[in-house]
Chain A
Amino acid sequence: MVKWLEGIGNDEDVVVSTRLRLARNLANYRFPNFMTDDEAEALTDEILNGMKDNVYDVPYKFYRIRDLSDIERSVFVEKHLISPNLAKKLDGGSFLIRNDERATVMINEEDHIRIQVLMPGLNFEEGWEISSKIDDSIEGKVEYAYHEKFGYLTSCPTNVGTGLRASVMVHLPCISMTGHINSIIEGLTKIGLTVRGIYGEGTKASGYLFQISNQTTLGESEEDIIKKLNRVVQEIISRERSTRAYMLDKRNHQMEDMIFRSFGILKYGRIISSAEAMNHLSNVKLGCDLGMIDYIKPKDIIKLMIKIQPASLQKTVNRDLTYEERDMYRAELIRKKIRSLEG
């Protein structure tokens, strides 16, 4: 189950999700990388205490990284609920997760506090409102590290200022297939935005899914950062849509052939790697968005993209799998899921 994807978002044919992340630190503690275990423990208590009355508007659940198994930790990462970096913090890392999975408060990642809000589709406004409220309620109880000139202080100087990293995950199959993606990535870099793969820094794009986010955090207000990103994303959405329309018009048979071949492989394949599966799922999602496969919801394909990741897959069968077994179980899971979606 990927709860945070539930509900209807804006522009979901192109935008899978919107994410806002705020980095915060407490004034009286050393930053996580310089902390002793005792300090980490005291800090965790202080943050948990600070959030008790305020943030628990919707129920939250608390997890310590060290109490989770390897697979459980990776499942949280694959569902985008915690960062890969937090999953490695066996000594002092922990997190609070809201029951609807839309908000996570990570403790002792690179910074003392990382607030993350995830929304389906394009929705910066609501995402910012939720994250800012969580921020305010924590601030009511603790003393934040803040500098009059530099703003919110963070362990890494690349996050200082607003501490805000706003991003969208977009599905750009047609811009990618026509090769226009490279010039877009270049253009975005020039205006201070970054493009990454779906699991963050250093990961490769797979299934034509890309993450676009602001690169700098100092000197522009949160509203300005979000406004700029929003404008750019709107532009990318309209380009992807017009490219889709163009390809449907000029290359209708080839498009149909590509989409239904992929559908066939997913429906009948017996061994499939995650890279191959991502590629075909991306094509099928495009088919759903274009109305060629109208009985499957595109969001079900997105959920399946998460379910076939290595840890999520092993969680389903409840044991470690070898690479070869994984590819077999993955194919089986996809076949079953598609059959159930077809009703």
Chain B
Amino acid sequence: MLCDKCNKNTATIHFTKIINNHVEERHLCETCAKENNYLDFTFEVPFSFEKLFTGLIDSMPEDSGKRRVVACPKCGLTYKKFQEVGKFGCAKCYEVFERNISSLLKGIHGHNTHQGKVPINTKDKIVQKKAIESLKLELEKSIEKEDFERAAYLRDEINRLKEKLGEI
């Protein structure tokens, strides 16, 4: 087969381009392919997966009434920018856009809550946070019952745990 472009050399490079069901085939020789920048494709991903799920994001309801543009304080990413690129800028983005992300993740994974491995450091922190929460409940109850001795003990205990977590 001869090259589509020069019609002189043998075509050694064959492309199939499919855009919106329109199939286009090209057969080129190495020289013509190089001239037309057709050779830089070795591991190129021809279609972007990000676009697929940013489509998903676009179709999601926006927070009504909120006109203020929120940007991540750490990396400066706005949600609009995220919709364009499909990638977050830093870990903080997940907190800043938490509400949108929760439903986005549900759309992608079918779930929005992690199961499985937890970093060892974080595991301790979560256990302690839960302990603080239950101590706080107990504290409220003992104040209601006017058991101030117990309440003072609980308050100290909560402060001790908070200090350990670095919250104080």
Tell me if A162 and B117 are in contact (CB < 8 A): yes
Q: State whether the Cβ of B143 lies closer than 8 Å to any Cβ in chain A.
A: no
Among A29, A132, A149, A157, max chain B CB count under 10 A is at: A157
Q: How many A-B residue pairs have CB under 8 A?
A: 140
Given contacts A139-B119, A224-B115, A310-B42, contact A27 B109 (CB under 8 A): no
Chain B positions 103 through 122: 1 when the CB is less than 8 Å from some CB of chain A, otherwise 0: 01100111111111111111
Among B44, B87, B114, max chain A CB count under 10 A is at: B114
Q: How far is the CB of B127 from chain A (nearest CB, A)?
A: 12
Chain A positions 85 through 107: 1 when the CB is less than 8 Å from some CB of chain B, otherwise 0: 00110000000000000000000
Q: State whether the Cβ of A245 lies closer than 8 Å to any Cβ in chain B.
A: no
Q: How far is the CB of A130 from chain B (nearest CB, A)?
A: 14
Number of A interface residues at 8 Å Cβ cutoff, please give it: 55
Q: How far is the CA of A322 from the CA of B39 in the complex (A)?
A: 12
Tell me if A33 and B89 are in contact (CB < 8 A): yes
CB contact between A162 and one of B85, B89, B116 (< 8 Å): that residue: B116
Tell me if A151 and B101 are in contact (CB < 8 A): no
Q: Is the interface of B mostly helix, strand, loop or mixed?
A: loop
Q: Which of A140-148, A235-243, A289-297, A328-336 contacts B (4 or more CB under 8 A)?
A: A140-148
Tell me if B115 and A33 are in contact (CB < 8 A): no
Q: Closest residue of chain B to A24, judged by CB?
A: B119
| A-to-B contact residues, CB < 8 Å | 25, 27, 29-31, 33-34, 74, 77, 84, 87-88, 110, 132, 135-136, 139-140, 143-153, 155-158, 160-162, 164, 192, 199, 201-203, 216-224, 310, 322-324
| B-to-A contact residues, CB < 8 Å | 12-13, 30, 42-47, 49-50, 53, 74-75, 77, 85-91, 94-95, 101-102, 104-105, 108-122, 126
Provide 19 A-B residue pairs closer than 8 Å at the C-beta atoms, listed in order of the A residue.
A27-B91, A31-B90, A33-B85, A34-B77, A87-B43, A139-B120, A145-B90, A145-B91, A149-B114, A153-B91, A155-B87, A157-B101, A202-B44, A202-B46, A220-B111, A221-B115, A222-B117, A323-B12, A324-B12
